[in-house]
Amino acid sequence: MYCVTVRDSMMIAHSLRGAVFGPAQRLHGATYVVEITLCRPDLDENGIVADIGRAAALLRDVLAPYAYRNLDDLPEFSGRNTTTEILAKTIFERYADGVRAGRLDGDSGTAIASIAVTLRENPDAWARYEAALHG
């Protein structure tokens, strides 16, 4: 399997409900480094998994609605904790929609087998969501 990764970052604010979160129950900020890994079994006719520029532009667009926002205020997260794991899956879903819509051009939309989203809170802690793109 061939894979390529692009990354970007976003700053958000949020609070988490539940005693397990300790002081993170209060409103606080987080800066995430977000990595998207695209994998496919074979390279395209250009010898690539996907165009890195297009992959990075799609990531930037996916993150834009969350950057510099209090996630507690966004209707899509109403009643849900915006844990790093939940955010990883949410970003996966939005990114996958963009790939399926042809944002990577060429045959990448149909040839990408899986996508992994990694959110790094700091160098020592991160969460990842990975799934097949089709099926």
pLDDT for 47-104, tens place per residue? 999 999 999 999 999 999 999 999 999 999 999 999 999 999 999 999 999 999 999 9
Three-state DSSP class for residue 86 = helix
Note the pTM of the prediction, 2 decimals. 0.94
The whole domain housing 65 covers: 2-132
Mean pLDDT (whole number) for 11-31: 95
**Inter-residue contact 44 to 106 (CB < 8 Å):** yes
For the chain, the domain total comes to 1
Are 5 and 50 contacting, i.e. CB atoms less than 8 angstroms apart?
no
Cα–Cα nearest to 119, from 19, 2, 11, 1: 11
We report the CATH number of the domain holding residue 34 as 3.30.479.10
92-108 pLDDT, tens digit per residue, is: 999 999 999 999 987 76
Let me know the angle formed at the C-alpha of 61 by 37 and 132, rounded to the nearest 5 degrees.
35
Q: How far apart are CA 26 and CA 66, in angstroms?
A: 19
